[in-house]
Amino acid sequence: MYQRLLVNFSVAWSAIMANRLRATLTALGIIFGVSAVIAMLAIGNGAQQEILEQIKLVGVNNIVIKPVLEQEEKEVGEDIGDSQKKKEKFSPGLTMQDVESIRQMPMVAYTSPEILLETYIIKNGIQRSAKLVGVEPAYFTLTNFKLSDGQMFSPKNLEYGDQVCIIGQGIKTKFFSKENPIGKRLKCGRHWLKVIGVLEPRLLSNSSISKLGIRDYNMDIYTPTKTMLIRYTNRSVVTKAMIRKAANRRNRNNDDQKSEKDPVKNYHQIDRLVIQVNETEYLSKTADIIARMLERRHFKVVDYEVSIPELLLKQQQRTKDIFNIVLGVIAGISLLVGGIGIMNIMLASVLERIKEIGLRLSIGAQKSDIITQFMFEAMLISISGGVIGILLGVSMSYFIAELAEIPTIVSFSSIVISFVVSASVGLIFGITPARRAAQQDPITSLRYQ
């Protein structure tokens, strides 16, 4: 059995060597098909990765935690104060200790606490209201904010709460139109802050800011969270003024109307916490773990809201599906064209070699030997074309990446799939010519001119 296969393989190899030009032309379809598939898959994978990274910057891998008022429940006609006395609970609110606990979780890539303070800025006799935001360097990574000038917060700034800030492009235009703001000081609230960096402008139209309620980030000032907590506001620290206000509020609770109008104090140390997870598939589970951990740390007081971007997750999955479908169709068409080329050339080869086929059949070869011979020829052509196509496709991918500056990703799976498919194409499209060759009548074949 093995000897017959070896003989048939030898005959097929001799036939290919005797007709190198025809074999080369036959293999060109597979070569260009496989190389095109690998190059397109590499370009598609690179484009897909780039798009998904952009979606991640928008927040597809982010968990957002915001402080909220604890939900209250009372019977109709019952005094709000009485219901509060019945089940009065204590919660420290969202604090930096919560941030540190979440930061220790293995699936968490970044944590970005934010503290927002409505204040004013003064420079050269000009005063303007502004938002002072206490952040960490991770904030700029998650929001895709980049510096146009200056430097980011240093470890020393973050540790000691230095009086430094990074300003938006609008602040620079308004207060430093004729000078470089780096190294200059800007009075923000009660303190003077040294400008160490300027952000690139965020392109937002006035209509988007007014109609959609989008914050104008160009007019924000950013300072380290520790600077905010030490020098501006730290709601977790109890002061005499806070105790006095709480006592006054308790006295006013005797009047229902006044108690309803009395604003509830914000006792949360941070105003927003954004957590980025390493992988999208861990997002829901991580959010569930964080929610349970916060419930324990806040003594079962639900004064926070944990949210995940479901619409962005769906869009990410849809983007993946679209790319997979498009690339699969393109790859299938390319290899189909190459397979049809092999079948056509092999059918033409059968017509040219009818006398050779008749001679083999007349000296004792079986129909299975003829089928095996032509199948070996088709597979050798397709496999050799596949190997050359793989090398050409990988080279094309790197060449395109260097020349056109387009990200390309050549995956090992695409190489394996291309090789397997090229061999399968030779096997599938070689069956019809092989059977047609085996069905030739030996006597008629010997007389064929």
Most confident range (mean pLDDT) of 87-96, 222-231, 246-255 is 222-231
**One-letter amino acid identity for 88?**
E
164-167 and 220-224 as β-strands: parallel, antiparallel, unpaired? antiparallel
Contact 130, 220 (CB under 8 A): yes
**Mean pLDDT score, 157-171:** 91
Contact 389, 418 (CB under 8 A): yes
**Mean pLDDT score, 105-112:** 90
Contact 30, 334 (CB under 8 A): no
Interval 178-189: pLDDT, tens: 889 999 999 999
Interval 211-230: pLDDT, tens: 434 567 888 999 999 999 99
**One-letter amino acid identity for 350?**
V
pTM of the shown model: 0.56
Stronger pLDDT, 112 or 322, i.e. the higher one: 112
Extents of the domains making up the chain: 2-54+315-447, 61-308
Q: What does residue 33 show for φ and ψ, rounded to 5 degrees?
A: -65, -50
Q: How far apart are CA 371 and CA 294, in angstroms?
A: 71
Give me the chain's average pLDDT, please: 77
Contact 99, 270 (CB under 8 A): yes
Contact 269, 236 (CB under 8 A): yes
Q: How far apart are CA 222 and CA 165, in angstroms?
A: 5
**One-letter amino acid identity for 221?**
I
**Mean pLDDT score, 257-269:** 59
Interval 344-377: pLDDT, tens: 776 676 666 666 667 776 777 777 777 777 777 7
422 has pLDDT over 50: yes
Nearest to 226 by CA among 292, 302, 136: 136
Contact 378, 435 (CB under 8 A): no
Q: How confident is the model at residue 117 (pLDDT cuts 50, 70, 90)?
A: very high
pLDDT, residue 113, reads: 94
- Percent of the chain with pLDDT strictly greater than 70: 71
Q: Which residues contact 183 (CB under 8 A, 6 or more apart)?
A: 194, 195, 196
Nearest to 144 by CA among 197, 200, 190: 200
- Percent of the chain with pLDDT strictly greater than 90: 19
Q: How far apart are CA 270 and CA 111, in angstroms?
A: 13
